[in-house]
Structure 1
Amino acid sequence: MNVLKSLGKLIWGNPDNPELIKITNGELYLVRPNFSIKGTRECIFHTAQATVRRTGVEWQYQIVISRVFDEGEEELQDEEEESEEEKVFLIDESLKFRKGQIEGLTTFSWRDLSGDPDDLFEFVCDISITAHTVNAFEYTVYNCMFERKYRKPRDEASEQDIQSFIFDTELKIDQNDKTPPSTPKNRSSFNKSSTTPTSASTTPMRARNTESPSTPTKTSIKLELPGGGSLKTISIIDVDVELHIFDPNTATFLMQSPLATASILKGNNYEYWLIIEDDTKRHITQRIEPRMNPVFNSTQHCLIWVYFEGFDLVYSFLIRFRDLDNETNFKRKFTSAMYETLNETKAKEEEQEYLMNAYLDEDVEMIDARVSDEEESEEETDSSEEDDDSDNINTESKGDSVNTQLAVGHKLDRSFVLKGNKIGVFKHTDDDRIEPASDINNISKPQGKKFNPSKMMLHEGDSNMILMDKNDAHSLYKMDLEYGKVVEEWKVHDVIPVENIFPINKFAQGTGEKSILGLSHNSIYSIDPRLPNFKLVDDKRRQYVTKNDFISGATDASGHIAVGTEKGDIKLFDSLGKIAKTNLPAMGSAIKGIDVTSDGKWLIATTDKYLLLINTEIKSDHEGRTGFQKSFAKDEKPKAKRLQLKPEHLTMMEHDVNFTPARFNTGEQALEKTIVTSTGPFVITWNFRRVKQGKLYDYQIKRYSDNIVADNFKYGQDKSIVVTLPHDVTLIKKTHLSTPTKSALSPSKKSASRSTNNIVKSFDNY
């Protein structure tokens, strides 16, 4: 070993080289016990190489077994079904890594932590590999184990430290141990070091709170922050949990610590922190905020969330509660902390249940989830269709401007895409494709001044387009689409600005209706272009004294109005000029988009990180009225459901969430069956019927090569979606979206492996 230690500079010397040492030729086997019905020995790679590799995370290393193709074999493989090209294992002492011999050849073996408890992986070194290389490989693995366990450089390891990692194959297991096979036989020897974000603190665990979990702790705690510095905090709850981390390579949650403490600490100015720690170290120090994408699962008694490190590292964690009362109390404290973080005020008592319910992930059928014969029949018809068409992408010339807006026609089979100072017009063909039809260039006001519209909305049976100019908040511009020219300027009001516009009812754009609705930060009003001077209708305006920050609005077929605010409130109006019938509490995230079903019974509200699905029906009302027409009783507030992506899917996507405004498919004779939105390069649809039944993660997804700007269904159906990219427009069949898998979500099939801890227990269907 002393000779090998002297080779340290040769093996470890270049920090820019991710590979420490490599065995260039060997075979990889999966070895099972003699009693296994699957057979005792299975060859995984006939020709392979073994590498010890850095991960990019401090103290973390991997054993990587890569398949080596014979000449011509790789090309043949590409023509056939895809095959795994490498296997990756985080180096940790729980692998029980050991060296051995088989038929005169040196072997390295370690536990298959993702398979059956007694299975082993075995790498058989080729006869050409020298003893010196074999010993150096073994010694390097033990050095990696030392750094992972003690979180300090190998140079500080003694010879005895390194020898301690050599696995004793003679060690016997206590036959009286009744621990379930899926958990460690000896919990005291379980390695509690973690593969957590590099910014996580390693402060030892403080003494646990001995008060009731629901009672705030008054002891002041000095919190060491990940980026440096400290903060004076107070613990408001401590509970016992198991900690797990999601491994995208195996699509399972891996045990980090079988017994840890999850704490919520309160700092200053409505700032809260989530801390996870055990007897050996602090695993996670994370501020509570919307990017966590949190989900409570009552069936598995756990909380799942994400942690973003830098621009391209996304981790998903899971804590499983060990006590039902602790779980309930933790949910209440966590949702209150999230609310206060976003709103900088405390939630009212009657809003607590509304907030808690929105964070739950439960398969509980929502009101009005019954399926009509017509809906069931249509869905069965859709699912049986065969679709072999490929996407039809139309690429525009790439200038300085990019696509920013999409409008899909109601009366005409046209889609309109706004790009800087021009509008691209695209035709929907009879064979359900899309192709360029014309361009409207050099958009100018009636006076001849060019401008780049900030918003557009089809009007009067798709014959006109209403345009907004962000540099003139008091006027709108009417474009005649037949001539491709702005023909009118509408002066709305000299004081009240126009910050958004939407149709006076859900299907008004396909009719000859002249009026539209407008929003300012504190008022909702009607705009009638037939008025002689200012177009705002004074007796059809609802104005608030305080600033409400209205930013989005939508209507149902009857003209009932839903409005979303910057703070996250949702107000439901029966008609203009009256007070709101219903005020839904703010979750704290801005409602950037809102849509309503034609009957007004459901609305979908979009925030950056999640969608809110709300049933507006009043259960006790025998006339079948909704929250648009009548106020909810205090104990009948609707239960909002958050539609969001699974935290573990975000880990595979390596992408933060920023949803585009979600929409139902629409049409005067069309039943709403699907919800569409997008985030980054992903277009996503939810099955509306199944979501109403509580299946909140029944979504389909497709990845594009560029970020999506806007998306919407073709009018009158939900089979095809118009997707707008910065420089392209495409029509995609809904059947081309797939269930979320690693291959569908990851940036590439050969994306870099992510280091995770070892499997002890997984929650495949948490």
Structure 2
Amino acid sequence: MNVLKSLGKFIWGNPNIPELIKISSGDFHLVRPNSLKGTRECIFHEAQATIRRTGTEWQYQIVITRVFDEGEEDLQDEEEEVEEEKVFLIDESLKFRKGQFEGRTTFSWRDLSGDPDDLFEFVCDINTTTHIVDAFEHTVYKCMFERKYQKPQYEATEQDIRNFVFNTELKIDQNDKTPPSTPKNKRSSLNKSFTTPTSASTTPMRTQNIESLSTPTKTVKLEFPGGVSSKATSIVDADVELHVFDSNTATFLMQSPLATTSILKGNNYEYWLIVEDDNKRHIIQKIEPRMNPVFNSTQHCLIWVYYDGFDMVNSFLIKFCDPDNETKFKKKFTSAMYETLNETKAKEEEQEYLMNAYLDEDIEMIDAKDSDEEESEEETDSSDEDDDGDVNNEAKEDGANTQLAVGHKLDRSFVLKGNKIGVFKHTDDDRIEFNTDINNISKPQGKKFNPSKMMLHEGDSNMILMDESDKHNLYKMDLEYAKVVEEWNIHDVIPVENIFPMKKFAQMTGEKMILGLSHNSIYGIDPRLPKFKLVDNKRRQYVTKNDFISGATDEKGHIAVGTVKGDIKLFDSLGKIAKTNLPAMGSAIKGIDVTSDGKWLIATTDQYLLLVNTEIKSDSDGRTGFEKSFAKAEKPKAKKLQLKPQHITQMGGHTVNFTPARFNTGEGVMEKTIVTSTGPFVITWNFRQVKQGKLAYQIKRYSDDIVADNFRFGQDKSIIVTLPHDVTLTKKSHLSTPTKSVLSPSKKSGSRSRNNIVKSFENY
């Protein structure tokens, strides 16, 4: 199935399940306006209303089921026949409509066997959410569409659905002197009572002075605390459906069947997204990275995350009604996101690259637990013993773990914690055990310090350490003697911001040199030089400040470097200009990893990962973007790997902040899996399937936030997970497809119920 056919299931339901949607509590009446005995007769004091499939295609029923009070059913006379259910075939002849009775929402339809004015009426419980009410009503109209036209509901246009809304909604209330809207201009009033927050910014704001939606542009006055105000102007509008994600049912529910979404441009590269209909403004929020936006061209929709500034998170979906407006909206949205992050306009030639990064492809959804064909049963056997007993607890008074380094030649992992390094041994039965501590890390002169970074060196015999407070020196620790034995003075002017190996597997050899980064240069570091260890003839310096922060190499020594602004530069060797410059998305590239053959790289930002294929398809010699510049028409398209907005909602408001993603690695080992983590979640993507456009991921939740993670060297079955005070090893087969039970906190501290969410919205 396509990626968002599953989304269609969320909205419409699984075809294998008879029930489409249910209102779980209410009471059921027969209303007879012309009866001498009284206008209302209660049929079921407690009842449920369900829309149910029949055994016949295109036919659906409204089923009203009696709910017995506790013990009531047992008290009935055995010979007395008790009616427990009433069933109504859904057809437009029912003249189905929504109303109000004593402050409660009602659904009414004709009693086809009674007088013309007689109605059956289901009165919803006062606690029934507006999400469910709107979804129930809209589902009835879609059922009517299928019965009338013998076509699936997803082929219905908005006008098709509006045609089933019973026309009493166009009548003027006796107390309302306002003339009714004409059918031509009237938007459906399916959603009159639901109120959402008016701002997703951490700074509360109000809006006013909205010009008519029919005008080409509209101006919004934004008011902030302290009397500060500014104006924002619409730069694009589009007609959409609006849906909201319900965590309890894992479904997107209709909130407005016909609304308008707009992007507003404010001052200083600020942009706002609004969604409104004729009844109210549903959403206004600042465009920013943590929205985690995903476009999908198959279902013509945008899904994103909404934070209200009050510890509540939701996921919304807008489905575009017109393809042309959808395309215009995508371009404006990606440009707005870029300008928000970079405070400058994107170049024309970069627009397509940016667009592709925000688009979710027309892909096929797969079970995230599907494994590579070449994986053995041992690797994917979910019956393996779990790793809960394999946690190595540490003393909390010693501070928290901050770094992880996995051995290449030695089957050891090293965990940095303040002024000491914990050494952990990998056992033959694929477990991890504490081995020893290296305590009181000190410089050769005896001064203690807390390393900010560590990197294994020279066949895992040494560890290179960085000191955040001294960026002109590095320190070499001899792991056999467990002490720092050398101080390397790199340069008196050029600092060291980061270090990484000369080649991908250089750490397995006796290679002395390593690579270093400053904010605007890439250089070699050779500890054998007499004074300054920076190699001048192995340095590439840029005049402008690039803010290099991360780097990696492939097996041949090709270099990939990431910047604070999100640029990625590819070099074939030290001292030369970059062969390829990949445009900045605006988010800092905090980590990069490259496959052994240099054909793929994975770049990590806080909110998402970028997977880039560096192969030049037209090159007969099979060269990559490290070795040759891409032609303008062949610029690579980055695949954006991110968590689905609805999954972030189920995480209970967790803000995504990925740790540097890595491929599994090893000499002669094919990269098959990508691993990263965010908060308490470790996440993997099947690399082979990602290359095919199948972006499903597996996930596992821990009790604490994850500090660092990586595969054991030489395989991808086991992942070392470093927590603030624990180190553990989990098998890849123990990660699972994201579900609410996997993503959500425990019930004791879990996310709020759907009713509480709605109440919070209404109290905003």
Give the shorter-chain TM-score range: 0.7 to 0.9
Match of 2:374 among 377, 394, 407: 377
Give the Cα separation in 1 of the matches to 2:683 and 2:707.
13
Question: Is the 2:298–2:362 contact (alpha carbons within 8 Å) kept by the matching residues of 1?
Answer: no
Q: Which residue of 2 aligns with 1:462?
A: 460
Q: Which residue of 2 aligns with 1:590?
A: 588
Question: Is the 1:504–1:517 contact (alpha carbons within 8 Å) kept by the matching residues of 2?
Answer: yes
Q: Deviations over 1:308-362 (max 9, x none)?
A: 1236421000000001111111100100000011011111111111000001111
Q: Between the two structures, name the one with larger relative contact order (CA 8 Å, sep ≥ 6).
A: 1
Give the Cα separation in 1 of the matches to 2:565 and 2:18.
61
Q: CA deviation at 1:196?
A: 2.7
Q: Which residue of 2 aligns with 1:118?
A: 62
SS at match of 1:280: coil
Give the Cα separation in 1 of the matches to 2:315 and 2:700.
21
Give the Cα separation in 2 of the matches to 1:276 and 1:237.
12
Alignment of 1:170-249 (within 5 A): 170-171=118-119, 178-180=144-146, 185-186=164-165, 188=188, 190-194=190-194, 196-197=196-197, 199=199, 206-211=211-216, 217=217, 219-223=218-222, 230-249=229-248
Question: Is the 2:539–2:575 contact (alpha carbons within 8 Å) kept by the matching residues of 1?
Answer: yes
Amino acid at match of 1:702: K
Question: Is the 2:593–2:601 contact (alpha carbons within 8 Å) kept by the matching residues of 1?
Answer: yes
Q: Which residue of 1 aligns with 2:84?
A: none
Q: CA deviation at 1:234?
A: 1.1
Question: Is the 1:195–1:756 contact (alpha carbons within 8 Å) kept by the matching residues of 2?
Answer: no
Give the Cα separation in 2 of the matches to 1:573 and 1:231.
45
Alignment of 1:282-297 (within 5 A): 282-297=281-296
Question: Is the 1:249–1:753 contact (alpha carbons within 8 Å) kept by the matching residues of 2?
Answer: no
Q: Which residue of 2 aligns with 1:30?
A: none
Q: Which residue of 2 aligns with 1:580?
A: 578
Q: Which sits farther off after the overlay, 107-116 or 742-751?
A: 107-116
Match of 2:102 among 140, 162, 170: 162
Alignment of 1:17-32 (within 5 A): none
Report the CA distance shift for 1:171/1:190 in structure 2 as closer, same or farther (over 3 A): farther
Question: Is the 2:398–2:417 contact (alpha carbons within 8 Å) kept by the matching residues of 1?
Answer: no
Q: CA deviation at 1:293?
A: 0.1
Amino acid at match of 1:633: A
% identical equivalent positions: 72
Q: CA deviation at 1:592?
A: 0.3
Q: Which residue of 1 aligns with 2:325?
A: 326
Match of 2:486 among 461, 485, 488: 488
Report the CA distance shift for 1:163/1:693 in structure 2 as closer, same or farther (over 3 A): closer
Give the Cα separation in 2 of the matches to 1:114 and 1:438.
63
SS at match of 2:430: coil
Q: Deviations over 1:52-96 (max 9, x none)?
A: xxxxxxxxxxxxxxxxxxxxxxxxxxxxxxxxxxx9979xxxx87
Match of 1:712 among 704, 710, 713: 710
Amino acid at match of 2:435: A
Q: Which sits farther off after the overlay, 169-178 or 275-284?
A: 169-178
Q: Which residue of 2 aligns with 1:108?
A: 46
Report the CA distance shift for 1:381/1:410 in structure 2 as closer, same or farther (over 3 A): same
Q: Deviations over 1:83-134 (max 9, x none)?
A: xxxx9979xxxx8754699x999632243479976244653334789xxxxx
Match of 2:601 among 595, 600, 603: 603
User: Does residue 340 in structure 1 map to residue 278 in structure 2?
Assistant: no
Alignment of 1:635-646 (within 5 A): 635-646=633-644
Q: TM-score, normalised by structure 2?
A: 0.77
Give the Cα separation in 1 of the matches to 2:604 and 2:462.
27
Give the Cα separation in 2 of the matches to 1:339 and 1:418.
36
Amino acid at match of 1:530: R
Q: CA deviation at 1:165?
A: 4.5
Question: Is the 1:562–1:573 contact (alpha carbons within 8 Å) kept by the matching residues of 2?
Answer: yes
Q: Deviations over 1:148-182 (max 9, x none)?
A: xxxxxxxxxxxx97267455564379999953476
Question: Is the 1:205–1:282 contact (alpha carbons within 8 Å) kept by the matching residues of 2?
Answer: no
Q: Which sits farther off after the overlay, 171-180 or 630-639?
A: 171-180
Q: Which residue of 2 aligns with 1:664?
A: 663
Q: CA deviation at 1:204?
A: 9.2
Q: Which sits farther off after the overlay, 160-169 or 466-475?
A: 160-169
Give the Cα separation in 2 of the matches to 1:326 and 1:112.
36
SS at match of 1:677: strand
Q: CA deviation at 1:376?
A: 3.4
Q: Which residue of 2 aligns with 1:299?
A: 298
Q: Which residue of 2 aligns with 1:256?
A: 255
Give the Cα separation in 2 of the matches to 1:253 and 1:604.
31
Give the Cα separation in 2 of the matches to 1:258 and 1:376.
44
Q: CA deviation at 1:541?
A: 0.3
Report the CA distance shift for 1:39/1:460 in structure 2 as closer, same or farther (over 3 A): closer
Q: Which residue of 2 aligns with 1:83?
A: none
Give the Cα separation in 2 of the matches to 1:245 and 1:454.
43
User: Does residue 390 in structure 1 map to residue 394 in structure 2?
Assistant: no
Give the Cα separation in 1 of the matches to 2:423 and 2:607.
31
Structure 1: 5+ residue runs without aligned partners? 1-35, 41-86, 130-159, 212-216, 366-373, 760-766
CA RMSD of aligned residues (A): 3.3
Match of 2:524 among 526, 533, 549: 526
Structure 2: 5+ residue runs without aligned partners? 1-14, 32-40, 54-59, 74-99, 110-117, 122-139, 148-152, 154-160, 167-187, 201-205, 365-370, 759-764
Q: TM-score, normalised by structure 1?
A: 0.77
Q: Which sits farther off after the overlay, 227-236 or 198-207?
A: 198-207
Q: CA deviation at 1:38?
A: 9.4
Question: Is the 1:192–1:257 contact (alpha carbons within 8 Å) kept by the matching residues of 2?
Answer: no
SS at match of 1:577: coil
Q: CA deviation at 1:387?
A: 1.5
Q: CA deviation at 1:237?
A: 0.5
Amino acid at match of 2:681: F
Q: CA deviation at 1:195?
A: 5.3
Alignment of 1:124-163 (within 5 A): 124-126=68-70, 162=102
Give the Cα separation in 2 of the matches to 1:118 and 1:386.
44
Amino acid at match of 2:424: F
Question: Is the 2:22–2:48 contact (alpha carbons within 8 Å) kept by the matching residues of 1?
Answer: no
Question: Is the 1:415–1:426 contact (alpha carbons within 8 Å) kept by the matching residues of 2?
Answer: yes
Give the Cα separation in 2 of the matches to 1:96 and 1:702.
39
Q: Which sits farther off after the overlay, 741-750 or 334-343?
A: 741-750
Report the CA distance shift for 1:474/1:758 in structure 2 as closer, same or farther (over 3 A): closer
Alignment of 1:689-704 (within 5 A): 689-696=688-695, 698-704=696-702
Give the Cα separation in 2 of the matches to 1:556 and 1:628.
10
Q: Which sits farther off after the overlay, 574-583 or 222-231?
A: 222-231
Q: Deviations over 1:205-237 (max 9, x none)?
A: 7422554xxxxx4x5432456998643011100
Give the Cα separation in 1 of the matches to 2:691 and 2:226.
42
Give the Cα separation in 2 of the matches to 1:164 and 1:377.
59
SS at match of 1:399: helix
Question: Is the 1:397–1:727 contact (alpha carbons within 8 Å) kept by the matching residues of 2?
Answer: yes
Question: Is the 1:225–1:285 contact (alpha carbons within 8 Å) kept by the matching residues of 2?
Answer: no
User: Does residue 317 in structure 1 map to residue 296 in structure 2?
Assistant: no
SS at match of 2:119: coil
Match of 1:727 among 725, 728, 735: 725
Give the Cα separation in 2 of the matches to 1:379 and 1:226.
61
Report the CA distance shift for 1:311/1:39 in structure 2 as closer, same or farther (over 3 A): closer
Report the CA distance shift for 1:176/1:325 in structure 2 as closer, same or farther (over 3 A): closer
